[in-house]
Amino acid sequence: MVQIEVNTRRRQEFQDITAEVQRIIRENGFQDGLCYLFCPHTTAGLTLNENWDPTVRQDIGMVLDELVPQRPDFRHREGNSPAHIKTSLVGSSLTLFVEEGKLLLGTWQGVFLAEFDGPRRRRVLVKLLSD
């Protein structure tokens, strides 16, 4: 297992980690199989989406803010209940195919760490499993 460290800069952001995941695949000489990604945090997750136009990420963040606004009746004392809920909606893991040493992604797809309670230092765990 390998770990990626990501330093986020804003309360909510989507950081493209595709190149880091691909680097790990290349450096490990991994050719064919599965790449498992897991984010071991309760206020950050992982998502697969468009990595060409950054306004897509802004739109996703805007809609998540509308779906899960801060509310005075949240009981969690840390004040970050929306971040926990958004992480549950987005998810904490991804399973990706690797063929001939490359992630099999759609033309515009990228892998993103979804930060909902930043800025923070985050970890993403990467496990490669051969065919």
How many CB atoms lie under 10 A from the CB of residue 119?
12
CATH architecture of 2-130: Sandwich (2.60)
Which of 20-34, 35-49, 74-88, 104-118 shows the lowest per-residue confidence on average (mean pLDDT)? Answer: 74-88
What pLDDT does residue 131 have? Answer: 86
pLDDT averaged over the chain? 97
Domain boundaries, the chain: 2-130
pLDDT on residue 100: 97
Contact between residue 128 and residue 5 where contact means Cβ atoms under 8 Å apart = no
* Total H helices, total E strands in the chain: 3, 8
pLDDT per residue as tens digits for the range 60-118 = 999 999 999 988 898 998 989 999 999 999 999 999 999 999 999 999 999 999 999 99
Of 56, 83, 78, the closest CA to residue 67 belongs to 83
Tokens 């990626």 found at:
4
- The pTM for the full model equals 0.95
